[in-house]
């Protein structure tokens, strides 16, 4: 199960694809804190991962030994519904370019970051890894999900055909520093945080939240995901995907109350039931992760408070 021959050494050249995003920046912070000093963290202007020749040139000149593939086009329900072609094509092109170049340039190991939207909309709860491809996807984000499933299958195919050590992690809903707080394209947690913050500033009487408030979601602080990704890069080597989450969920209504409390909004929370709820429940079975001797450590209230501090300092003004 474990191939420690491909583990990272502190002086290895480690490429974090998508290092300016939510996940990539957290992985870079974690590696730097752990003493890895030879990190490759290019911006999109330095290497466009959707450009095959640019990716090829980058791998040829930089020769990374390990890759964290955290680059992706991401967004919430509205963005996925509005730009389905962008979501399926951009993600498939980026991951194909990076995985193929990594294999051809003798990268020792690659970690591919997927998403729990790969699982069927009505999957049994909690969701086990083997539920992949056993039912229909949630229609509001199937384009992104299909691209991520293709990434998983690419990693498995390259392992089988070439012996390429690529592993695939499926994180639950993420939040934390460097999140996207744009109300048109953000996920539920940052969208709520910005709405409640602006309502507090403007002294609004109420905040409208999409849907009924009844769907349940699991939330993982991105710094916990980064810790898991580095741990599994060092200790896990198998074609089987592995869920990364906390194993506990919360209703959207409970989340709204928590975020409002942390932000300091004391008005009314109103639910617009004409808007879509998305998947009714999404809770991961994390027993495979726990068997690898790793567990999440940041509780939700502390994580929300940490994210709000970041938002106040660096978020949209």
Question: Is 157 part of any known ligand binding site?
Answer: no
Check the annotation: does 21 bind a ligand: yes
Residues 6+ apart with CB under 8 A from 91: 72, 73, 144, 147, 148, 151
Q: Is 217 annotated as a binding residue?
A: yes
172 is in an annotated binding site: yes
- Is residue 223 a known part of a binding site? no
Residue 235 assigned ligand-binding role: no
Residue 113 annotated as lining a ligand binding site: yes
284 is in an annotated binding site: no
Residue 279 neighbours by CB under 8 Å, 6+ apart: 121, 138, 215
Neighbours of 148 (CB within 10 A): 24
Known binder of ligand: residue 23? Answer: yes
22 belongs to an annotated ligand binding site: yes
Q: Is 114 annotated as a binding residue?
A: yes
Question: Is 216 annotated as a binding-site member?
Answer: no
Tell me which residues are annotated as active site.
144
According to the annotation, is 9 in a ligand binding site? no
Known binding-site residue numbers for substrate: 195, 210, 217, 277
Q: Annotated binding site: which residue ranges?
A: 18-24, 113-116, 148, 171-174, 187, 195, 210, 217, 277
């Amino acid at each position: 199960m474990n191939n420690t021959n491909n583990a990272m050494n502190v002086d290895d050249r480690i490429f974090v694809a998508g290092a300016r995003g939510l996940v990539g920046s957290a992985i870079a912070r974690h590696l730097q804190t752990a003493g890895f000093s030879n990190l490759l963290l290019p911006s999109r202007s330095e290497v466009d991962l959707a450009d095959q020749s640019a990716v090829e040139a980058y791998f040829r000149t930089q020769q990374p030994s390990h890759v964290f593939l955290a680059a992706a086009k991401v967004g919430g329900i509205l963005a996925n519904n509005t730009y389905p072609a962008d979501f399926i094509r951009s993600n498939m092109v980026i991951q194909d370019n990076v995985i193929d170049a990594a294999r051809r340039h003798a990268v020792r190991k690659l970690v591919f970051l997927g998403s729990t939207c790969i699982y069927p909309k009505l999957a049994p709860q909690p969701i086990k890894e083997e539920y992949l491809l056993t039912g229909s996807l949630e229609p509001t984000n199937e384009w992104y999900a299909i691209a991520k499933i293709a990434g998983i299958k690419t990693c498995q195919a390259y392992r089988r055909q070439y012996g390429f050590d690529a592993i695939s992690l499926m994180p639950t809903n993420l939040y934390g520093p460097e999140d996207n707080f744009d109300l048109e394209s953000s996920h539920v947690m940052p969208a709520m945080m910005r709405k409640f913050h602006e309502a507090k500033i403007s002294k609004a009487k109420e905040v409208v939240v999409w849907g009924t408030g009844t769907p349940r979601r699991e939330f993982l602080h991105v710094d916990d995901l980064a810790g898991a990704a580095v741990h599994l890069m060092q200790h896990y080597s198998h074609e089987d995907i592995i869920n990364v989450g906390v194993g506990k969920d919360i209703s959207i209504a409970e989340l709204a109350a928590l975020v409002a409390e942390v932000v300091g909004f004391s008005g009314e929370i109103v639910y617009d039931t004409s808007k879509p709820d998305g998947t009714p429940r999404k809770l991961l079975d994390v027993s495979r992760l726990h068997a690898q001797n790793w567990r999440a450590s940041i509780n939700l209230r502390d994580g929300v408070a940490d994210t709000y501090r970041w938002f106040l300092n660096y978020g949209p003004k």
